[in-house]
Amino acid sequence: MTAVLDVPSGDAARLDTPAAGDPRLARLSLNQRTTAQWSLREALDGARAAGLTAVGLWREPVAEVGLDTAARWVADSGLRVSSLCRGGFFTAEDPDAREAAHADNLAAIDEAATLGAPTLVLVPGGLPEGSKDLAGARERAAEAIARLAPYAGERGVRLGIEPMNPIFAADRGVVSSLRQALDIAEQHPADQVGVVVDTYHLWWEPGVVEQIARAGERIVSYQVCDWILPIPADNLLGRGMMGDGHVDFAAFTRAVAATGYAGDVEVEIFNAAVWAAPGGDVVATMARRYVELVEPYL
User: Strand 119-123 to strand 80-88: parallel, antiparallel, or no bridges (unpaired)?
Assistant: parallel
**Is residue 235 part of the contact set for a second copy (CB under 8 A)?**
yes
**Is residue 171 part of the contact set for a second copy (CB under 8 A)?**
yes
**Is residue 138 part of the contact set for a second copy (CB under 8 A)?**
yes
The whole-angstrom separation of Cα 265 and Cα 25 is 10
Which residue in 64, 100, 132, 156 binds a second copy (CB under 8 A)? 132
106 vs 237, which CB is nearer to a second copy? Answer: 237
The whole-angstrom separation of Cα 31 and Cα 100 is 27
- Three-state secondary-structure class, residue 56: strand
**Is residue 180 part of the contact set for a second copy (CB under 8 A)?**
yes
Least Å from the CB of residue 115 to a second copy: 32
- Three-state secondary-structure class, residue 94: coil
Which residue in 38, 90, 222, 227 binds a second copy (CB under 8 A)? 227
96 vs 129, which CB is nearer to a second copy? Answer: 129
Q: How many residues can be counted in the chain?
A: 298
Q: Alpha helices of the chain — where are they, by DSSP H? A: 11-16, 40-49, 59-65, 67-77, 95-115, 134-155, 178-185, 199-202, 208-215, 249-258, 272-276, 279-293
Q: Would you give the binding string for a second copy spanning residues 14-43, x where CB under 8 A is met?
A: ------------------------------
- Three-state secondary-structure class, residue 166: helix
Span of 86-94, 130-138, 153-161, 263-271 interacting with a second copy by CB under 8 A: 130-138
38 vs 200, which CB is nearer to a second copy? Answer: 200
Q: Is 216 exposed, middle or buried (0-12, 13-18, 19+ CB in 10 A)?
A: middle
Which residue in 146, 170, 237, 298 binds a second copy (CB under 8 A)? 170
Return the number of other C-beta atoms located less than 10 Å from residue 262's C-beta: 9
**Is residue 290 part of the contact set for a second copy (CB under 8 A)?**
no
Q: Would you give the binding string for a second copy spanning residues 146-165, x where CB under 8 A is met?
A: -------------------x
Which residue in 37, 146, 190, 204 binds a second copy (CB under 8 A)? 204
User: Strand 265-267 to strand 219-224: parallel, antiparallel, or no bridges (unpaired)?
Assistant: parallel
Eight-state DSSP code of residue 127: P
Span of 7-15, 50-58, 94-102, 242-250 interacting with a second copy by CB under 8 A: 242-250
User: Strand 219-224 to strand 54-58: parallel, antiparallel, or no bridges (unpaired)?
Assistant: unpaired
76 vs 234, which CB is nearer to a second copy? Answer: 234
Site residues for a second copy per CB under 8 A: 127, 132-135, 138, 165-167, 169-171, 175-177, 179-180, 183, 203-207, 227, 229-235, 245-248, 251
